[in-house]
């Protein structure tokens, strides 16, 4: 992908369509039910809570949350993913809101009990200010006392288990991956070759990397409190045995009186 003439990778529908069979395999869909159970145990949300799933993809978790009676809003920029969410929700008679939008711009002040950002859907943007803005939008979309749950591969874990080249196969679609660290592990550059039958597609893309401390510091700058880092969705310690970086952060309970009045909330909530 030529950066000068092409869209950024996260804005390229061709990228998401090509890698979808690998990223959203049948095995990952099957794990969604257990993952939702684990996330709900970490968050302890009220019945019927309003939940925002940012960068929801084809809706693995959003659909399962809707099945359990939660009021779900799922946001993604990729129209084909959102169409899959709509079709599955209609087939099951589920009620959820589907919004096509960029997470740098989507915000609903004080609306949600919880915001979910899952499956390494943070760090897309080369400009750190844009990643910060995304995190601030998540903070502002929460009710006072609401919680953010992020799931990503922390920088520490990536460095510890780094593999420069690998390949995988899902349903006859082959993915060849090549990785290199950039700017002292500030980001990682990826080269993916997707082979699907007679078609071969190649993409290069970058992700900004965050350690648990770096991400926690960003959350604090946004106004989050009560931050906890876990090593998996079961709530294990974030230590040498960790498989993911799961960060749970809470919006402050007290917000300024004028803002609270505008949102229709008790400022002491």
Taking the C-alpha atoms of residue 124 and residue 131, their distance in angstroms, rounded to an integer, is 7
Taking the C-alpha atoms of residue 123 and residue 265, their distance in angstroms, rounded to an integer, is 32
Angle formed at CA 132 by CA 237 and CA 23, multiple of 5 degrees: 60
The pair phi, psi for residue 134, each rounded to 5°, is: -60, -45
Same domain, 131 and 163: no
pLDDT beyond 50 at 2: no
pLDDT of residue 261: 53
Q: Is residue 4 part of a domain?
A: no
Same domain, 215 and 235: yes
Same domain, 183 and 132: no
Q: Answer yes or no: are the C-beta atoms of 69 and 97 closer than 8 Å.
A: no
Structural domain boundaries enclosing 97 = 9-154+210-263
* pLDDT confidence band for 1 (50 / 70 / 90): very low
Q: Which of 194, 192, 204, 201 is nearest to 171 (CA)?
A: 194
Q: 66-90, pLDDT tens digit by residue?
A: 999 999 999 999 999 999 999 999 9
Mean pLDDT across 158-170: 96
Same domain, 52 and 174: no
pTM, rounded to two decimals = 0.92
pLDDT beyond 60 at 57: yes
Same domain, 200 and 254: no
Q: For helices 60-67 and 26-43, what crossing angle results, to 10°?
A: 60
Contacts for 170-174: CB closer than 8 Å, 24+ residues apart = 170/21, 170/22, 170/25, 171/21, 171/25, 171/26, 172/196, 172/197, 173/21, 173/22
pLDDT of residue 6: 52
196-219: b (≥16 Cβ within 10 Å) or e:
beeeeeebebbbbbbbbeebbebb
Distances (CA, A) of 167 to 126, 176, 182: 26, 4, 21
Q: Cα-Cα-Cα-Cα dihedral of 11, 12, 15, 18, to 10°?
A: 120
Q: Answer yes or no: are the C-beta atoms of 45 and 51 closer than 8 Å.
A: yes
CATH code of the domain containing 13? 3.40.50.150
* 49's tokens: 């809570």
Q: Is residue 1 part of a domain?
A: no
User: Strand pairing partners for 147?
Assistant: 114, 250
Q: 171-226, pLDDT tens digit by residue?
A: 999 999 999 999 999 999 999 999 999 999 999 999 999 999 999 999 999 999 99
pLDDT of residue 259: 55
Question: Is the model more confident about 6 or about 82?
Answer: 82
Same domain, 136 and 259: yes
pLDDT of residue 253: 85
DSSP state of 164: S
Same domain, 28 and 93: yes
Taking the C-alpha atoms of residue 50 and residue 41, their distance in angstroms, rounded to an integer, is 16
pLDDT beyond 50 at 95: yes
Mean pLDDT estimate for the chain: 93
Taking the C-alpha atoms of residue 213 and residue 146, their distance in angstroms, rounded to an integer, is 21
pLDDT beyond 60 at 40: yes
pLDDT of residue 7: 72
Q: 232-268, pLDDT tens digit by residue?
A: 999 999 999 999 999 999 999 875 555 555 555 544 3
Q: How many domains does the chain have?
A: 2
pLDDT beyond 80 at 137: yes
Q: Answer yes or no: are the C-beta atoms of 219 and 194 closer than 8 Å.
A: no
């Amino acid at each position: 992908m030529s950066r000068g003439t092409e869209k950024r990778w996260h804005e390229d529908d061709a990228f998401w369509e090509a890698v979808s069979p690998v990223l959203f395999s049948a095995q990952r869909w099957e794990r969604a039910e257990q993952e939702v159970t684990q996330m709900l145990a970490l968050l302890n949300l009220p019945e019927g809570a309003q939940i925002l799933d940012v960068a929801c993809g084809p809706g693995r978790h959003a659909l399962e949350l809707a099945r359990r009676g939660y009021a779900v809003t799922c946001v993604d920029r990729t129209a084909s993913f959102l169409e899959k969410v709509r079709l599955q929700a209609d087939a099951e008679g589920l009620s959820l809101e589907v919004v096509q939008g960029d997470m740098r711009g989507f915000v609903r002040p004080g609306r949600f009990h919880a915001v979910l950002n899952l499956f390494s859907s943070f760090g897309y943007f080369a400009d750190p200010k844009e990643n910060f803005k995304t995190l601030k939008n998540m903070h502002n979309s929460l009710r006072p006392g609401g919680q953010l749950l992020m799931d990503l591969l922390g920088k520490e874990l990536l460095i510890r288990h780094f593999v420069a080249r690998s390949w995988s196969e899902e349903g006859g679609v082959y993915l060849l991956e090549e990785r290199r660290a950039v700017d002292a592990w500030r980001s990682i550059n990826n080269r993916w070759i997707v082979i699907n039958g007679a078609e071969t597609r190649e993409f290069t893309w970058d992700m900004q990397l965050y350690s648990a401390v770096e991400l926690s510091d960003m959350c604090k700058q946004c106004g989050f409190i009560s931050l906890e880092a876990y090593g998996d969705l079961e709530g294990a310690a974030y230590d040498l045995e960790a498989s993911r970086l799961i960060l749970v952060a809470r919006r402050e309970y007290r917000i300024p009186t004028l803002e609270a009045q505008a949102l229709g909330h008790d400022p002491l909530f």
